[in-house]
Chains A and B, each alone.
Chain A
C-alpha cells in the first residue's frame, strides 16, 4: 500500500496551492460570482496554464493525468483554496467529451473553452434518470426542449452537455452550444458564492453529431464529479479545522485562550477523528473508480454520505467555536463553511447516498 502522492501530483498540488494562496482569494471569488461571466477569466486561463485541467484527463485524450488519485489531489487543493472557477463542471463535461471521443476536449484542456454539464432538472431532485427534457429526432437534426436546474457556471460556458429523453424513452447525452437559438438562462449567485443558472431549452436545434451517447456517459461523469467534490470537501475541512484551531489558541475569554477549555479541545479531537474517517472514505472511492461498476457505486455512495455528514459537522462546529465572528460575511471562515454545507446539495445528499448504499449492498 502506498498513500503518498506521485511526483507529478505533488508538484501540481504545490504549484496550485501557491497560486491560490498568493494570487487568488475570497475577494476575487466573490467579485467573479457577481460578474456577468460568473468567473474570473484571467484565473481560469492561469489554472489551465498550470495544468490543472490537463491533470484531470488521461494522455490518450490529451491530458496528462486522469486517474482517480489525480482528480482527488487537484480537487482537495482547489477546496483548500476555495477556488470558485468552473473546474468541477469542466471535469464532468470533459469526462463525457473524452468518452465520446470528441475533439472539443482539447479546447477545454487548454482553457480556451468552457463546457459544463447540465443533467439535473427542476423536479429530478438527485436522480439522473428522471429526465423530462426531450430530444426529438428530425430528418437533419435533433430538437431539444426542457429545463435544467442549478447549472453551475452555465453562463460562462460555450458548450452545455445535457441529458434528454428520446421518443423511444431512452435518455441520451447531447452537446448543445450555449449560444444556440432557444437557449436562455437565468443566472444567479449561490449561497456559497458560485455562479449558476436555470437553463431553458426551447426548440433548440442541434446537428445529428451532437448526440454523444447514452445516459451512462452522464453517470460516469457524475461519478467523477462525486469523487472530485468529496475531495474538495477534504480541502475545505482542513482549512476550517486549521482556522478554528488557530482561533482557539488566540481568542481570549475569561483571561485565557478559549482553547484551554477541555470541552472545546474534545470537540476539536472529534473533528480530527471524523476528518480522518472522511479521508479514508474518499480514498476508498478513488481506489474503486477503475473497478467494477457496482463496487464503484457503493464506494462513491459511502464517500458522499460520509462527506455530507462530516463536512456539515465541521462547518457547524467551526462557526460555533468562533462565536459571533464566525457568523460574519467578512470572515473567510463563513465562505468555506457555506461551500462545505452546499456540497451536500450537489450529486445527492447524505440521505440519497445512504439509501443508494442500502440498495446496492442488498443487491
Chain B
C-alpha cells in the first residue's frame, strides 16, 4: 500500500494547478467562492477555456476528444478545480450522456453529438424523473409512439436541472407498456426547439431557478435519435446512474467548502475570540475534516478497484451517501458560523450589485445550505442507496 502520489501524479497535479492559476478568470472564481449562481454565458465561457486546453471531457477516451485520464488523474483534476473555485462542469452531456453514447450509441450518433459537446454547441439536460416516477424511475409514463421515421412523444418530465438553458434533452420514454415496467423503456434524444416542447420553471426553497418541468405534446423526434435498441433504455439508464454516483462524492467541493468555512470561522468573533477557537465549533469542524479525509481514501479505494477492472457497482452508493452527508454538514456549519446574518435573504438581481447587509461571506450561507438539501434527494436518494446496499452488498 502506498497512499502518496507517484512523481508523475505530483507532476500532473502541478500542471493542473498552473493551468488553473493562469486560465481561470478571477471574475468566475470569485462568484463560485461566494456561492453565486453563474449565468449560462459564464458556464460556457469556462467550458470553452477547458475545451481549448483539451480538458473538458475528463471521462472520455482520447479517440473522441477526451483526456483519456485514469481515475487518479480525474480525481486530482476534480479536487484542484474545486480548490481553485472553478465553475463545475455541467455533467448532463459530458459526464452522463456521453458515456452512454460511447458505449451504446451508433457511430453516427457519436460523430454527431460528441464533438458538439466539446464545442459547447449543445446544452443537454436529463429527462428521467416524472411526477409519478422519482425513486421508482421505472414508472415513467411519457410515451413515444412510432410513426414512420419518427417517434411522437407525449408526457411530462420534472425536476429537469437547467432545462431553461438547454437545447437538447435525453429522455427515458415508454415505447411499450405490455411487459414489466423496466422492459418497455427507451432512451431518446429530443431537440427542445421542436414544436410541442414547453419548459416551465420551478422555484426552489432557496429562491433559485435551477429546475423545471418539461412538457411534451405531440413532439416529433426522428428515429435516428433513439439510442441503442428500443426497450433497452433501462439498462442504459442504470449504466449512466452508476457513473453519476461515482462523481457524486464531491470531495473537491467539500474540501473547498471546508477551507472557506475555516476562513469564515476565523473572521467571526464569538465571546471576544475567533469562532474557530471556540471548542464546540472547533469540534464540529474537526469531525467534518476527519470524515472528509477518511472519505478521500474510501473514494480512492473504490476508484482504484475500478481502475483495476473492478466495477464500482454498489460501492458507489457508499461514496454517494457519505459524500452528500458531508457536503450538507459543511453547509450547515457555514450557516451556523455566520450567526444572525444567516437570516437576510438577498436575491441576486441581474445588474443590481447591492452591497450585502452583513459580511459578504454570509450572503450565500443559508441559500447554499437549503439548495444542498437536494444532494440526498437526487441521483437516487440516500434511502434508495441504502436499499441498493442492503441487497447488493449485504444480501439481505
Residues of A within 8 A of B (CB): 120, 122-123, 125-127, 149-150, 186, 188-192, 196, 198, 252-255, 258, 261, 263-264, 312, 316, 319-320, 323-324, 326-330, 334, 337-338, 341-342, 344-346, 349, 351, 354-355
**Residues on B with beta carbons closer than 8 Å to the beta carbon of A346:** 340, 343
CA distance A305 to B377 in the complex (A): 28
Could you tell me the distance in whole angstroms from the C-beta of B260 to the nearest C-beta in chain A? 19
Q: Does the CB pair A125–B343 fall under 8 Å?
A: no
A329 contacts B343, C-beta separation under 8 Å: no
Q: Can you give 13 A-B contacts (C-beta < 8 A)?
A: A150-B358, A186-B357, A191-B343, A191-B367, A191-B370, A254-B136, A258-B135, A319-B377, A327-B373, A329-B205, A329-B207, A338-B205, A342-B342
Contacts of A330 in B (CB 8 A): 202-203
> Taking A190-B345, A253-B134, A327-B205 as contacts, is the C-beta distance between A198 and B357 under 8 angstroms?
yes
Q: Which residue of the partner chain, among A254, A264, A328, A337, contacts B204 with CB atoms under 8 Å?
A: A328
* B370 and A338 contact, CB distance less than 8 A: yes
A120-B340 contact given A324-B158, A327-B377, CB 8 Å threshold: yes
Q: Are B268 and A122 in contact (CB under 8 A)?
A: no
Q: 1/0 contact trace for B189-221 toward A, CB 8 Å?
A: 000000000000011110100010000000000
Closest beta carbon of chain B to A241's beta carbon, Å? 18
Closest residue to B133 on the A side, CB-wise? A253
If A149-B340, A345-B343 touch, does A324 touch B383 (CB 8 Å cutoff)?
A: no
Cα–Cα distance between A355 and B378 once the two chains are bound (Å): 36
Chain B residue, CB-CB nearest to A344: B336
Q: Are B377 and A320 in contact, with the CB atoms below 8 A?
A: yes
- Nearest B residue to A335 via CB reads B205
* Contact across chains for A316 and B373 when beta carbons are under 8 A apart: yes
Q: Which of A120, A149, A326, A328 contacts B203 (CB 8 A)?
A: A328
- Give the one of B134, B377, B381 with max A CB within 10 A: B377
Whether B344 pairs with A196 at a CB distance below 8 angstroms is yes
Q: For the complex, what is the distance from the CA of A25 to the CA of B334, rounded to whole Å?
A: 31
CB of B279, distance to nearest CB on chain A (Å): 9
Q: A188-B357, A320-B376 are in contact. Are A327 and B204 (CB under 8 A)?
A: yes
Q: Inside 8 A of B202's CB, which chain A residues have their CB?
A: 328, 330
Q: Which has the most chain A C-beta neighbours within 10 Å: B281, B344, B346, B378? A: B344
Least CB distance from B287 to A in Å reads 13
Give 19 A-B pairs besides A120-B340, A263-B386 with Cβ atoms closer than 8 angstroms: A149-B340, A149-B341, A188-B344, A189-B345, A191-B366, A191-B370, A258-B135, A320-B376, A323-B135, A324-B158, A327-B204, A330-B202, A330-B203, A341-B366, A342-B366, A346-B343, A351-B278, A351-B281, A355-B278
How many residues on chain B are close to A (CB under 8 Å)?
A: 47
Given the known A-B contacts A150-B344, A191-B366, A323-B135, are A123 and B158 also in contact in the complex, defined by CB atoms under 8 Å? no
Q: How far is the CA of A19 from the CA of B211 in the complex (A)?
A: 35
B108 at the interface (CB under 8 A from A): no
Residues of A within 8 A of B336 (CB): 344, 349, 351
Contact between B340 and A150 (Cβ–Cβ < 8 Å)? yes
Give complex CA distance A22, B221 in Å: 49
A189 vs B207: C-alpha distance when bound (angstroms): 12
Cβ 8 A contact of B340, one of A125, A252, A312: A125
**Residue of chain A at shortest CB distance from B328:** A316
CA distance A355 to B275 in the complex (A): 13
State the CA gap A302–B286 with chains docked (Å).
25
> Is there contact, CB below 8 Å, between A355 and B205?
no
Q: A329 — nearest CB in chain B belongs to which residue?
A: B203
> Least Cβ distance of B182 to chain A in Å?
12
Rounded to whole Å, the gap between the CB of A353 and the closest CB of chain B is: 11
Nearest CB of B to A188, in Å? 5
Chain A residues whose C-beta falls within 8 Å of the C-beta of B366 in the assembled complex: 191, 341-342
A264 CA to B382 CA, complexed, in Å: 12
Which among A125, A261, A326, A355 has the greatest number of chain B C-beta atoms within 10 A? A125
Q: Are B135's CB and A254's CB within 8 A?
A: yes
Q: Are A351 and B280 in contact (CB under 8 A)?
A: yes
**Are A329 and B204 in contact, CB atoms less than 8 angstroms apart?**
yes
Q: From the candidates A188, A323, A328, name the one contacting B205 in the complex (CB within 8 A).
A: A328
- Minimum CB–CB distance for A350 against chain B, Å: 8
Out of B129, B268, B374, B386, which one reaches A125, CB within 8 Å?
A: B268
Rounded to whole angstroms, the CA-CA distance of A127 and B203 in the bound complex is 36
Contact with A along B45-79 (1 / 0, CB 8 A): 00000000000000000000000000000000000
User: What residues of chain A lie closer than 8 Å to B37, measured between beta carbons?
Assistant: none
